[in-house]
Amino acid sequence: MKTQKQLFFLFLVLLSAFSHAQQLPNIADPRVHIKLPTVKGDSLTLSSFKGKVILLDFWASWCGPCRVANRKLVKLYEKYKKQGFEIFSVSLDEDKKDWQRAIVKDKITWVQVIDPRGWNAQTATNWNIYQLPTSYLINKKGDVVSIDPEGKELEDSIKELLKE
């Protein structure tokens, strides 16, 4: 009987730890704070966009799938930016010139920041980035509501979140 109680207690501890680990962050959480330089060199924070629906997008100029995704995001951004939708892109490029050329070539007009430490970037570690592109859809309260939404799922989610 004592062993069963111990196992049950262990199960509850593990369940609690697992559910806590699966909790999605809020952009006000200091553990996931982002403050990085823009193309112009001034710093910008993700949390300054609270109140908007945000797609936090991690990418790099050398990433083929990222560049394909950019073409789709250009259209999506144009469609919803006036309604309160913002894209906050974090580049993990180590070469700022490559990043800047890609922004121009891909006709990106939304917020761009860079963490030039690439895969060694603290930002990538804090957001558990292990592949590119990776994106997080964030509601107006600053809560992450979806990870890597694409296509119709992404657009439908944006429409719903903009109504809130």
Question: How far is it, in rounded angstroms, from Cα 149 to Cα 152?
Answer: 9
Domain locations in the chain as residue ranges: 26-163
Give the whole-angstrom CA distance, residue 135 versus residue 149. Answer: 7
Gap between the Cα atoms of 84 and 52, Å rounded: 5
Q: Kindly state the tokens that stand for 112.
A: 């761009």
Three-point CA angle 25, 111, 95, nearest 5°:
100
Strand 111-114 vs strand 43-45: parallel, antiparallel, or unpaired? unpaired
Q: What is the pTM of this model?
A: 0.84
pLDDT, tens digit, 9 for 90 and up, residues 81-95: 999 999 999 999 999
The CATH number fitting domain 26-163, selected from 1.10.10.10, 3.40.30.10, 3.30.70.20, 3.50.50.60: 3.40.30.10
Q: CA 26 → CA 37, 112, 140, distances in Å?
A: 21, 20, 10
Which tokens sit at 86?
A: 């913002």
Q: How far apart are CA 91 and CA 69, in angstroms?
A: 14
The predicted model gives 22-29 an average pLDDT of 72
Q: Would residue 144 be called left, alpha or beta, if left means φ above 0 and alpha means ψ between -120 and 50 degrees? A: beta
Instruction: Determine contact, residues 113/88, Cβ cutoff 8 Å.
Output: yes
**Interval 107-163: pLDDT, tens:** 999 999 999 999 999 999 999 999 999 999 999 999 999 999 999 999 999 999 999
Predicted pLDDT at 4: 55
Residues of the chain above pLDDT 90, percent: 79
